[in-house]
Structure 1
């Protein structure tokens, strides 16, 4: 697999609070690892939270690299435990320093094992699966507008421009416990995986994301650059984190 990730500050923000992790080499017992985290909080706290989420997750994997993985469910359990550890680390740090009080982060974590992607997810960072003909959003946003959409109060077209679109209903580190979604998908018909923050998805629709991928040469770095450039051209209202994994 080929994997490339980049973070761009965007056109409107004065600091970056997004963080990514990209590794095609083993991290602990996992053969590869891809993470996007979008932090939130007061002065600098968002960047602290997103960075801590990734570092503490990876440290957990390394500390438990001798565990026995026998089933697919064991993989998703490991991802969930890693995020729970990150939640604990961020939450405890927020209690130790008033400047970090209430900080938190979204987190989308993926690993690929024998053509299966294993995914753990909190917040509104997303994972997409794509081929030439289709794009599939594999995550469901934990956000206020997603709840409003599911209840029929707003339409799909209204979600991207809704004034409350940045309000998330789950985050890593804001409370002592966190609810984590886990899922797995077969990648046999997938050409690309995309992990991204809402700095991309608030600027581009799923169809526009797919079109950026389709009109590229197929190289992962070109796709990442095209997505970031297009999101900035449409306003770049937030930090933009993008990881493309090409099979």
Structure 2
């Protein structure tokens, strides 16, 4: 199993508000995309991944409910920092989390970072974005073609660090040798063609590092208006 993760600042932002975590055994993987201003977003995302790392040093990660609890713990950790320093009020972060245990991938998710699974030449998006445009799309008020240019496409309906109570999406799916999992912030998915993303991730002739670097290159060519973070792992 090979795993590679990287986070880079885009061409517009002055600070990288993204964070990511890869455990020493490559079996706990998380991406967090912060929001809340120059300092707040960076603190929120970093707090989230640190909380997740701490949580899984002490608790199991072999059930969806445990990933929900880990993200809720991250939520509480961010809110605690706001309580200590009220100037951080309004900060928050997306969290997309995967754990790998005995032929299963467990996942937890809030926000619009994403988790994809690839087997052979087929890639599936596991998570559903928690955004205004996703709600409008599901209600049939906009089309899929309108999502990319909608003025509210980056407005979240759910994020860690905003409210005491946080609803976390979670689930599990079987994995087998050769499967790939991509976890990434919307700084990647918003600036790359979905088909190019699939072709790149499902290209087993190249390493995880090479694929991530190629994806980042395409994002920069397309303007890189946000920070970019991705973890790619092969089972």
Aligned position for 1:146: 134
Q: Distance in 1 between matches of 2:179 and 2:56?
A: 27
Q: CA deviation at 1:222?
A: 0.4
Q: 22, 28, 32: which one pairs with 1:33?
A: 28
Cα gap change, 1:187 to 1:52, in 2 (>3 Å): same
CA RMSD of aligned residues (A): 1.8
Aligned position for 2:11: 11
Cα gap change, 1:136 to 1:200, in 2 (>3 Å): same
Q: CA deviation at 1:215?
A: 5.3
Q: Distance in 2 between matches of 1:185 and 1:148?
A: 28
Aligned position for 2:75: 87
Q: Deviations over 1:15-54 (max 9, x none)?
A: 10000111251xxxxx710000000002310000000001
Q: Is 2:116–2:123's contact at 8 Å kept on the other side of the alignment? A: yes
Aligned residues: 235
Cα gap change, 1:139 to 1:21, in 2 (>3 Å): same
Aligned position for 1:246: 234
Q: Distance in 1 between matches of 2:178 and 2:12?
A: 34
Q: CA deviation at 1:64?
A: 3.3
In the alignment, structure 1 residue 77 sits paired with structure 2 residue 65: yes
Which has the larger displacement, 76-85 or 136-145? 76-85
Q: CA deviation at 1:216?
A: 7.0
Q: Secondary structure at the match of 2:82?
A: helix
Q: Distance in 2 between matches of 1:131 and 1:64?
A: 29
In the alignment, structure 1 residue 127 sits paired with structure 2 residue 83: no
Q: Could you tell me the TM-score, scaled by structure 1's length?
A: 0.89
In the alignment, structure 1 residue 181 sits paired with structure 2 residue 166: no
Which has the larger displacement, 183-192 or 34-43? 183-192
Q: Could you tell me the TM-score, scaled by structure 2's length?
A: 0.94
Aligned position for 1:28: none
Moved over 3 A (4+): 214-217
Q: CA deviation at 1:190?
A: 5.9
Matches within 5 A, 1:215-226: 217-226=205-214
> Runs of 5+ in structure 2 lacking a partner?
none
Aligned position for 2:45: 50
